[in-house]
Amino acid sequence: LTRCLYLEPVLCVDTTKEETLRPLTSGIMETGMDESGDYKRQVSNESLKDPQVQALSQQLKEWINDVLTDDHIVVKNLCEDLSDGQVLSALIEKLAGAKIEHKEVAQSIASQKAKLTEVLNQINYHLQVVDDGIKWNVDNIHNKYLISVLHLLVALARHYGIPRRLPSFVKIQVLQITKATQQTETITEQITGDEEREHYNFAARQQERDVFDTLFDSAPDKLNAVKGSLMAFANKQLSQINRGCSNIEEDFSNGVNLVVMMSLAEGYYVPMYSFSMEPEAYDHKLHNVTLALNLMQEAGIPRPKCTAESIVSRDLKSTLRVLYAIYSKYKHLVK
């Protein structure tokens, strides 16, 4: 059985492996085991043949290939081609603008897992998932465990948007074997929920216009006045600790001033170890901005229509949205 992963128009990485578990179904359904903890888990043959499971896998595969068209990457088998972290690295770089230093193709198992660890840390960070909400890990992805691969890709598709609605309420039957007793039972794993609603909500968020869309499109003459008002508010807050800002896109792109403004407005101290006061690397800036957005949510401020990545990229509209959200909550503090 031969599969090809196209990394460049003239480069084909050939991986030939002997199948030991079961034959593939349409080239997308090879699946390994989850051997973590006290159990061994494997997807049942019935679920591998389930049209809903196959449709979900096919849609996710097509989505990845569409996203990575310019990189000349073609995924033929989800579990196989994502197992070493190379495709996932390209995917999160494309979707989130992430910077992953480790780009060479890893050959040994140890180097593949090291690469995969770095990539999954980046993905988890951009998805802003907490430990309890993570349904994938390095070993399961590397072992080609279908359940974990699907959970990961569905989370990415929901977060960044996928053109077509995914199948709803996809469930997979899993054979679970207790290692100590070899007792076997069948459990059900829910992969997707009401994807029609998820798809609608994402589309609505993307299409929803706000005052800044109108400002940029219809009233650019008023833009400088809005920028000036928000800059004055920010400087008034930051002056309490002898900080200030003069360039609205640049001075908030590393997240420091946003974190400081939230701490001053809410009257608490943000420990120095929890963010970088002088970030140089992209990841450090992204961490700071993400922290600031989280602090805003904890303070009851509605999430602005922006991403942490757009702030770091100095997107003016996104930066104005964040500052206006803070201003709306704390304008009474400025006299």
Residue 170 · residue 54 · CB < 8 Å: no
pLDDT tens for 237-290 read 999 999 999 999 899 999 999 999 999 999 999 998 889 999 988 888 989 999
DSSP letter, residue 111: H
Banded pLDDT at 160 (limits 50, 70, 90): confident
State which H helix or E strand residue 3 sits in.
strand 2-8
User: Who contacts 289 (Cβ-Cβ below 8 Å, separation ≥6)?
Assistant: 253, 254, 255, 258, 308, 311, 312
Which is it for strands 171-178 and 11-16: parallel, antiparallel or unpaired?
Answer: unpaired
Cβ-defined contacts of 7-11 (< 8 Å, 24+):
7/71, 7/72, 7/73, 7/86, 7/105, 8/72, 9/72
| 15 has pLDDT over 50 | no
Give residue 335's pLDDT. Answer: 66
| 19 has pLDDT over 50 | no
Give residue 107's pLDDT. Answer: 75
Share of the chain above pLDDT 90, in %: 38
Residue 67 · residue 95 · CB < 8 Å: yes
| 81 has pLDDT over 90 | yes
Cβ–Cβ contacts within 10 Å for residue 230, how many? 20
Q: In terms of C-beta density within 10 A (0-12 exposed, 13-18 middle, 19 or more buried), how is residue 209 classed?
A: exposed
Residue linked to tokens 């074997």: 177
Residue 152 · residue 136 · CB < 8 Å: yes
pLDDT tens for 208-243 read 667 787 777 667 778 888 999 999 999 999 999 999
State which H helix or E strand residue 305 sits in.
none
Residues 245, 225: Cα–Cα separation, whole Å: 16
| 57 has pLDDT over 80 | yes
DSSP letter, residue 134: -
More confident position, 6 or 87: 87
Give residue 16's pLDDT. Answer: 36
Share of the chain above pLDDT 70, in %: 81
Residues 294, 287: Cα–Cα separation, whole Å: 10
**Residue-averaged pLDDT of the chain:** 81
Number of helices (H), then strands (E), in the chain: 14, 6
pLDDT tens for 28-44 read 344 566 777 778 888 99
Report angle CA 306, 311, 312 to the nearest 5 degrees.
140
More confident position, 197 or 207: 197
Banded pLDDT at 131 (limits 50, 70, 90): low
32: phi then psi, degrees, rounded to nearest 5 = -95, -155
| 4 has pLDDT over 80 | no
